[in-house]
Amino acid sequence: MDFRWEIISEYLPFFMRGLGYTILASLIGFLVGALIGLVIGMGKSLSNPILRLPFIWYVNIFRGTPLLVQIFLIHFAVMPIFIKPPEPLISLIVALALNSAAYIAEIFRAGINSIDKGQREAAYSLGMNHAQVLRHVVLPQAFKRMIPPLGNEFIVLVKDSSLGAVIAAPELFYWGRVAVGAYSRVWEPYLAVAVLYFVVCLVLSYVQSFLERKYATDDQRKKPKKVVRRSRGAAGH
Amino acid sequence: MISVKNLKKSFGDLEVLRDINVEIEEKEVVVVIGPSGSGKSTFIRCLNRIEDITGGHVYIEGTDISQRKVNINKVRTDVGMVFQQFNLFPHKTVMENIMLSPMVVRKWKKKDAEEKALSLLRKVGLEDKAGVYPESLSGGQKQRVAIARALCMEPKVMLFDEPTSALDPEMVGEVLEVMKQLANEGMTMIVVTHEMGFAREVGDRVLFMDGGYIVEEAKPEDIFNNPKEERTKAFLSKVL
């Protein structure tokens, strides 16, 4: 079988542009999803069961239906209410944001709940209010534990953004399909697209494990702030 | 200084505190003893409303903290608490642990908080640990830092909830020593403990709790030498 490299080289500029949109859509989707997720996560932790209900069902619905179906509903049913004609890239970003919000909400909630209750009690006993306890005691500790699942969520989102091709959002996989259509060749365009996704996700997973190591071992590795330690160096000789 | 009237506390159907009445004077050291499950920890945790109060009243310097509308955060700045499990903040150094609340809640300047924190660390004998993270401390050291942290808010009363129960035996002494010193300086203290030696030596008054009631209260020498209630006798015969 011959492998026609020229197809890839011809379409590479389009692939790169598509990749740009893929990253853009995933990043905006993730950031907006994180904001919505924060609200949903806090909503799910409300003590009033009736107020809590809509947040619980938001998560149930967005986790319980396929992203592809959500994209179709958003693009063809919801977005036309606001934009005529609907813009595929915007529809994709909205779908990614709403979908990831459900997962991120759970990540936030689990992260916050994983902090020992004694930490909160100690902070309250020192006179701090809810916001101060959250800001100075709970969130800094919870954030560390949220890094690995948040990293996973972002990587999943980058790959899932390829579903945007079905509504003609000009992301990476869309351009792969265009190239396939133009040459009636499947190997070259799809492999090229796969490699590009792979490289991005590989880089992201390295970034993730770097952050993880940086924060997870922060407390142990950080040199004691000023004072002491000197004596220990001398003992080593 | 602290006045508890008909205090009740239930967890669901479980009544833990049934009817607690006690007055605690300024500079008094009150030691609470009793078998496990007697409600002594719950009792002390109601005194700064870390535990919600089901019924009755708790007055801290005249403020009834059982009322929901009371600014409980303000009251808590005057009521320090030390926990069995230390509960130091693992993401902050020893100094930062101590300085956090004075700076955030009392709005002290960093320099003032630093000065105060260092003087407290000196007091508990841990000046050389100022810059380290709690993880590298022994249990006894952690608890001494926790005491310093509570003291940095300059509280009017200190609550100790089994402060030595999670410690290895050889570390109990160093923590009790700090508490003794604090008592000698005239701090009002309420101490839930199993350390009968401490109760006898430092306590002004001992409360014996059982089944959600204060069964007997007396001076240490009276309660240890001549307990009046059968349940007190039974308990003391097991622990002494």
Residue A212 confidence (pLDDT) = 86
A136 CB neighbours in chain B (<8 A) are 100, 104
Give the nearest partner residue to A128 out of B50, B104, B146, using CB atoms.
Answer: B104
Residue A228 confidence (pLDDT) = 40
Distance from CA of A172 to the nearest CA of B (A): 41
Helices (H), B83-131: 94-104, 110-123
Domains in chain A: boundaries: 5-218
Q: Which CATH number fits domain A5-218: 1.10.3720.10, 3.30.56.10, 2.102.10.10, 3.90.1150.10?
A: 1.10.3720.10
Q: What radius of gyration do chain A's Cα atoms show?
A: 23
A127 CB neighbours in chain B (<8 A) are 73-74, 76-77, 101, 105-106, 153
Cα B78 from Cα A126, distance rounded (Å): 9
**pLDDT tens string B182-231:** 999 999 999 999 999 999 999 999 999 999 999 999 999 999 999 999 99
Cα B140 from Cα B145, distance rounded (Å): 9
| Contact status of B133 with chain A (Cβ, < 8 Å) | yes
Give the confidence band of B105 by pLDDT, cuts at 50, 70, 90: very high
Distance from CA of A224 to the nearest CA of B (A): 5
- Which of B94, B100, B141, B143 has the most A C-beta neighbours within 10 Å, making it the best mutation to test the interface with A? B100
Residue A224 confidence (pLDDT) = 52
| Strands of the sheet with B55-60, listed across from one edge | B14-24, B2-11, B55-60, B63-64
| Contact status of B129 with chain A (Cβ, < 8 Å) | yes
- Answer yes or no: do A228 and B87 touch at CB < 8 A: no
Cα B178 from Cα A36, distance rounded (Å): 49
Cα B188 from Cα A45, distance rounded (Å): 38
**pLDDT tens string A41-60:** 989 988 899 999 999 999 99
B48 CB neighbours in chain A (<8 A) are 125
Q: Is 0.90 topped by the overall pTM? A: no
For A210-214, the CB contacts below 8 A with 24+ separation are A211/A147, A211/A151, A212/A147, A212/A148, A212/A151
Residue A233 confidence (pLDDT) = 38
CB atoms within 10 A of CB B69: 5
- Answer yes or no: do A132 and B133 touch at CB < 8 A: no
- Answer yes or no: do A128 and B83 touch at CB < 8 A: no
- Answer yes or no: do A218 and B91 touch at CB < 8 A: yes
- Answer yes or no: do B132 and A224 touch at CB < 8 A: yes
**pLDDT tens string A68-97:** 999 999 999 999 999 989 999 999 999 999
